[in-house]
Amino acid sequence: MMAYIQYFIFVLQAPLLLVGLLSGMALPAIADSAAQLEAVRVWRAPDHTRVVFDLSAPITHKVFSLPKPDRIVVDLHNDAGAINLRGVSWSEVDLQNSPIKKIRGAVKAGGGYRVVFDMRSKVQPKTFSLVANSQYSHRVVIDLYDPESKSKSESVVVKVADREQGQRDLIIAVDAGHGGEDPGALGPRRVLEKNVVLAIARETKKLFDARQGYRAVLVRDGDYYVGLSKRQAIARQHRADLFISIHADAFTDKRVSGSSVYTLSKNGASSTSARFLADSENKADRIGGVDLSDKDDLLTSVLLDMSMQATRDSSKRVAQHILGGLGGLVKLHKKNVEHAGFAVLKSPDIPSVLIETGFISNAKEAKRLASRSHQRNLSRAIVNGVVDYYAKYATEGTWVYWQKNKPTKSTDYAKRKSSTYKIQRGDTLSEVAMKNSVSLAELRRYNKLKNDKIRIGQVIKIPPRT
């Protein structure tokens, strides 16, 4: 849940200006050395509240807590001069859905500016600075973490799909890319990637949850940013069998369109466009706001590359099935699975794929991506591909594996009769498969179909269930 906060402007000048502010006097011109606060934004995430100060120049800051009553204090300093406030009304800040009761500020004696958050509840602050990038100027980020409760720290309980048989669900982690501070790519008419992919992710979860033997979890379920490494950590917390990251990126050539599926590459990108997209996605932490000052990139890379071969192999197989599902419903940008160094896919133990649902930089495709019907089509294609994959490579111990491998008598099977379905206007073969709880690949084989083309009035045979 995001609380978008009205933009405020204030200027770093001389302490004497505080008198002018309090009395409503006209303020002198801005000094050349002044650093200006260009915007204040507040974002609410499931476990913390983020407050962001956008600045025209870097400044130093310090954060500490005070008890009885609970307060968070942020001291801002400008080495080029003292700090003053101009035209700020903290009382107008909308703090709904946040633990902050009130924000107030004043110029400190001897220079600098102090901002105080009066809290409704105790929080744990963490703060860091971010240098200017292609999307934002210099920033000071204050994350106010909620106190951990027992329910949050306990292991996630895996839902049982069939209690009589005691077989667990396949858990699919669905990751909507970007979010919050990081809007992702911007399409015509201000179509934002972060909004499009969240809608597709939610629809994908709904379709997975409707199928017996499957359960989906959303990595983010609102407009807030989740760091790239934390996305995989959330999937691991839920004991996910598969991680799917959903995107709708932009490309330099606005004519480019179509869906693509990617896996992690150990030895470079499979194409120029794959390398371009990976570089673009990997900048997300610096745009979305993650403190990278204590990360050893070389050590992290070495650890992530250990024991990943089996995971890479599974990722490639499931990616091929998802690509097949997409190819049955939407236009493909690449007919083969691509690969590149996507940071969000670097999990040593969870098969992971990244889906570019389309190019939001293409005007026609941006319009489609923003439509609910196209989003549902994309979600159905993704789910169909995953179901097809697990029909062949079901994880042992799951309901899907048990259903596929449970012992049956051949005589019982012979007595079972196949059913039929007459194609109606608007039907697709993948939808027919989903409605009848069979895989798309199985439906093709049973009807000896070379592709997914069907016609109104055509009678499709539904395979008997084993």
Q: Write down the pLDDT at residue 263.
A: 87
In the chain, where does the domain assigned CATH 2.60.40.3500 lie? 2-148
Q: Are strands 36-44 and 2-3 parallel, antiparallel or unpaired?
A: antiparallel
Between vectors from CA 283 to CA 282 and to CA 286, what angle results, nearest 5°?
Answer: 130
In the chain, where does the domain assigned CATH 3.40.630.40 lie? 155-392
Q: Could you give phi then psi for residue 178, rounded to 5 degrees?
A: 65, -145
Q: Are strands 113-119 and 71-77 parallel, antiparallel or unpaired?
A: antiparallel
Architecture of domain 407-462: Roll (3.10)
In this structure, the number of other CB atoms found within 10 A of the CB of residue 362 comes to 21
**Buried-exposed string 76-111: b where 16+ CB fall within 10 A, e elsewhere:** bbbeebbbbbbebebeebebeebbbeebebebbeeb
Q: Write down the pLDDT at residue 162.
A: 43
Q: How far is residue 78's CA from residue 56's CA, in Å, rounded to a whole number?
A: 12
Kindly state which CATH superfamily the domain 155-392 is placed in: Zn-dependent exopeptidases (3.40.630.40)
DSSP class of residue 339 equals E
In the chain, where does the domain assigned CATH 3.10.350.10 lie? 407-462
Q: Are strands 60-66 and 352-356 parallel, antiparallel or unpaired?
A: unpaired
Tens-binned pLDDT, residue by residue, of the chain (466 aa): 334 333 333 333 333 333 333 333 333 333 445 667 777 778 888 888 988 888 777 888 899 999 999 999 998 887 655 554 554 567 777 788 889 998 888 777 777 788 899 999 899 999 888 888 777 778 888 889 998 744 443 444 444 444 445 589 999 999 999 898 888 888 888 889 999 999 999 999 999 999 989 999 999 999 998 888 889 999 999 999 999 999 998 888 888 888 999 888 766 554 555 555 556 555 555 556 556 555 445 444 444 454 456 677 888 999 999 999 998 888 888 889 888 777 777 777 889 999 999 999 999 999 999 999 999 999 999 999 999 999 999 888 899 888 887 765 444 444 455 688 888 887 888 888 877 778 888 888 889 888 888 888 999 988 876 5
Q: Write down the pLDDT at residue 173.
A: 96
Q: How far is residue 125's CA from residue 106's CA, in Å, rounded to a whole number?
A: 20
Taking the complete model, does pTM exceed 0.75, yes or no? no
Query: For helices 372-392 and 193-209, what crossing angle results, to 10°?
Result: 50
CATH code of 2-148, in short, is 2.60.40.3500
